[in-house]
Each structure stands twice: as C-alpha cells, then as structure tokens.
Amino acid sequence: MSAIEEGVPALGYVVENAWLGQALWAGLDRDVVSWRVPAEVRHMQPLADGYRLSLSDETELDCDLAVLADGGRSSLREQLGIGVRQRPYDQHALIANITPSEAHCGQAFERFTEDGPMALLPLPENRCALVWTRPGNDTQRLAELDDRSFLEELQGVFGYRLGTLRQVGARHVYPLALIEAEEQVRSHLVILGNAAHSLHPVAGQGFNLSLRDADALAETLLDSAAPPGELSTLQLYRERQRHDQQLTVGFSDKVTRLFGSSRSAVATGRNVGLLGLDLLPAAKRWFARQAMGLGTRSDV
C-alpha cells in the first residue's frame, strides 16, 4: 500500500496526545462549553430527565445527556451495571519511547514476529513510539531489563533500519483484550471511546473508530429536534454506527489473530492473503480504507 496509490497525502499520521489535546482545546467554543479541570466523576445517579454527576471536588452537576468515555476499564460503566463481552488475547503491549541513531524521516515501521507484532511510530525530535506485543510473562521480563539489555534485545528483533537504537524512556506494560460494552446507549446516556469498545493496537483502529462514533453522535444530535437525551435519538445513533463498529471490530480482531499466530497453517493462509491483496485491487482498496481508519464512511 502507498499514499500515492490511494490518492491521499499520507496513509496515516502519528500525533502525540498532548498536541492533540491542545488542538482540541483551541477549537472549543468558550461560549457554549464549560470546562471543569481538574475534576473526576465519582458517581452517576440516574434521574427522571438525565443524570446527576458527583465530582471529586465535592460539587454536583445535572445533565440531560451524559457521555461516558473513561476508558476500557471503565469504573463508571461498571458502576451503572453495564456488562462487557471480553476476549483476552494472552498478550501484553510494552510501550516506550525510543531514540535511534538515524533519522526516521516521518516513517512508521511495523514488524510481524512469531511472538507478536512490533511497531515504531515517528515522533518529534527523532524519537519513536514503540508498541511491542509479546506473551504476557515475556513482556514483564523485558520491562524489568536494564536499558542496555533492553535495547540490545529490541535491536535484535527490529534490525538496523534506523541505525543503532540508543535510548529508551520509561516502559509501561498493559494486557490486551477485545472488550465491548453490552450496552452503548440508555436514556440520557451514551458510552463512547474505549469504554464502548477497546481494540488490540495492532491494526491501529480503536481511536479512529471512536472519532467516527463521536462524529456520528454529534451529527445525530444536530439532526434531531428532540431533547439530546431522548432514547429514540440515541438509538438512532447506535443503529447508524452499528455496521461500522461491527466491521471495524471484526477487522481488528482478524488482523490480530492472523498476524499474532505462528502456526504454520495460519502463516500460510496469511501469506496467501497478502498476495491476494496485491492481485485484487478492490480488496486492496478496501483493506487500505480500513487501515487508514476511514471505515464505512463514503464522505471521506
């Protein structure tokens, strides 16, 4: 796949969370948005016409529509009694920043190994974000190595496309699983982001899907003459995104299982499938749109 073949400036972009947050903050309309920070929602109480939120600063807020987006291990989702469908991958992701000796020139790299995929994504100041997927016990071993030993082992797997890997920042490990909320809408409530669906990072689709969900929710609310918390309106949003979510979750899960298995039969099927992408332009186009995070959207 290439950006030229797809007629786009780039297949994707890597943006640090802090920069994205600044851009979103700059785009907020201060006349219609009230900002409470730092604050944490400790408790959500359902009301007849909305929710009452109890905050960590001992204040309360009443709202017509609560949008719950507190992550894949959502405590508020659990507090409201909303269950999840969970499929563990028996893998952990190790996250760290790496500094190579040679310029990355804005390129992203991904390696598919017998133990799981590895990605190095370009960051400013010639740093790279490392996402290294391994079996859980081995990931913890890597996290506990001294910097020199860790870089030597990483170099042996990644190779020398970026020269010598010179520095590594703090390492963080977290378990990987497909997690889907059993409910995404209730009267006066919407669940978004990883709280609604938490995907494996190998296909890089979780954030893209969440952005499309948020966009669809905003469009649905704008198109509706009903109050924002009306259940029929929120169900319309849910139906609007159902196909996109099913397709993206399925795509991410299949890519994870396809490239995370070292079994010979799976590896053979994987190689045949990749060859098929080169021979079938329509299939390659579909795969590229999924990989770029465009999903089923026809307007982008």
Q: What is the pLDDT of residues 78-98, one digit of tens each?
A: 999 999 999 999 899 999 999
Backbone phi, psi, residue 111, to 5°: -120, 140
Q: Which residues contact 20 (CB under 8 A, 6 or more apart)?
A: none
DSSP state string for 101-144: SS--TT--EEEEETTEEEEEEE-GGG-EEEEEEEEHHHHHHHHH
How far is the C-alpha of 246 from the C-alpha of 94, rounded, in Å? Answer: 27
What CATH class does 88-176 carry? alpha beta
User: Strand, coil or helix: what is 181?
Assistant: strand
Q: Which residues are bridge partners to 100 per DSSP? A: 165
How far is the C-alpha of 61 from the C-alpha of 42, rounded, in Å? Answer: 12
Whether 247 contacts 291, CB under 8 Å: no
Domain ranges of the chain: 88-176
Mean pLDDT estimate for the chain: 87
Q: Is 266 exposed, middle or buried (0-12, 13-18, 19+ CB in 10 A)?
A: middle
How far is the C-alpha of 211 from the C-alpha of 215, rounded, in Å? Answer: 6
113 or 203, which is more confident = 113
The per-residue pLDDT for range 117-139, each reduced to its tens digit, is 899 999 989 999 999 999 888 99
Asked if residue 249 has pLDDT above 60, the reply is: yes
Angle, CA 169 vertex, CA 142 and CA 133 arms, to 5°: 40
pTM of the model: 0.84
